[in-house]
Amino acid sequence: MSTTAETMETTRTVHLIIERQDSPESDPYTEEFVVPYRPGMNVIACLMEIQRNPRNKNGDPVAPVTWEMNCLEEICGACTMVINNRPRQACSALVDKLEQPIRIRPMRTFPVVRDLVVDRSRMFDALKKIKAWVPIDGTYDLGPGPRMSERDQQIAYELSRCFTCGACVEACPNVNDKNPFIGPFAISQARLFNMHPTGAMHKEDRLEALMGEGGIHECGNAQNCVQVCPKGIPLTTSIAAMNRQVTYHALGAWLRK
């Protein structure tokens, strides 16, 4: 790289507009930052620059921006936030592919703890509600379980890639503080565990949960969820499949009366 090119590279900056909130009870506000540009940097790298030198665009000292991260490989979902109006992981959001100024805010579907940190308990409560696990009745070796067909294995693999990041919940217009809808990810996980030969032991319990308050009937078919899923999970296909299962279950229960 020539000296001129090196100088241009070192003088480049990244402009960020971040929506902040000091506590769960306080009002949100925006703050602007400018950080030095480096080739290949992502949004996490920008936030770390602010942490190292917590000064806003005007040079005034401020409290460092608070956020969560863990794997930095788009696996844990901890760093999910809304970047340029799209819920996504900050670790995989590359500055070179983002329009500036980069606008960052927390996922507002969830209660904000501070700045970009949110409480995603709603998602884990939904997983409990649909019993998103394979039941076993002991810690001893149960031996190999029933075999799944190759087709079912492929479908199950796609569904198992969900890492509870919250992007689909944030994008869904039917998930809010006035609606108890469990969200598309939970419906997809119900499908996953209903497919499992041992997980199917709780199939009826999952279908009953999906028929209850906040269940599958709350889905408005906006299809935003499948557009923002970072793993490309076929969420709308799962919703359609579970709709069929719930309908057959309800009809069977009615005919048995």
pLDDT tens digit sequence for 88-133: 999 999 999 999 999 999 999 999 999 999 999 999 999 999 999 9
- Rounded Cα distance between 94 and 97, Å, is 6
Identify whether the C-beta of residue 201 lies closer than 8 Å to the C-beta of residue 240: no
Main-chain dihedrals φ then ψ at residue 64, nearest 5 degrees: -60, 145
* Nearest partner of 225 among 162, 159, 172, judged by Cα: 172
Q: Cβ of 161: how many Cβ atoms within 10 Å?
A: 12
Query: Distance between CA 55 and CA 31 in Å, rounded?
Result: 10
**Is the CB of residue 167 less than 8 Å from the CB of residue 80?**
yes
CA distances from 111 to 107, 108, 176 (A): 8, 7, 10
Ordered per-residue pLDDT tens for the chain, 257 residues: 445 445 445 679 999 999 999 999 999 999 999 999 999 999 999 999 999 999 999 999 999 999 999 999 999 999 999 999 999 999 999 999 999 999 999 999 999 999 999 999 999 999 999 999 988 776 677 777 788 999 999 999 999 999 999 999 999 999 988 889 999 999 999 999 999 998 998 999 999 999 999 999 999 999 999 999 999 999 999 999 999 999 999 998 788 77
Say if CB 239 and CB 182 are below 8 A apart: no
217 and 156 in contact (C-beta within 8 Å)?
A: no
The boundaries of every CATH 1.10.1060.10 domain in the chain are 121-255
Residue type, 79: C
As a whole number of angstroms, the distance between CA 149 and CA 103 comes to: 46
- The CATH superfamily label for domain 121-255 reads Alpha-helical ferredoxin (1.10.1060.10)
Q: Enter the DSSP assignment of 216.
A: G
DSSP state of 109: T
Report yes or no: 19 and 106 within 8 Å, Cβ to Cβ: yes
Domain with CATH 3.10.20.30 in the chain: 3-118
Among the listed residues 187, 189, 226, 216, the one whose alpha carbon sits nearest the alpha carbon of residue 87: 226
pTM for the full predicted model:
0.89
Yes or no: say if 40 and 96 are a contact pair by the CB < 8 Å rule: yes
CATH of domain 3-118: 3.10.20.30
- Say what the pLDDT of residue 144 is: 76
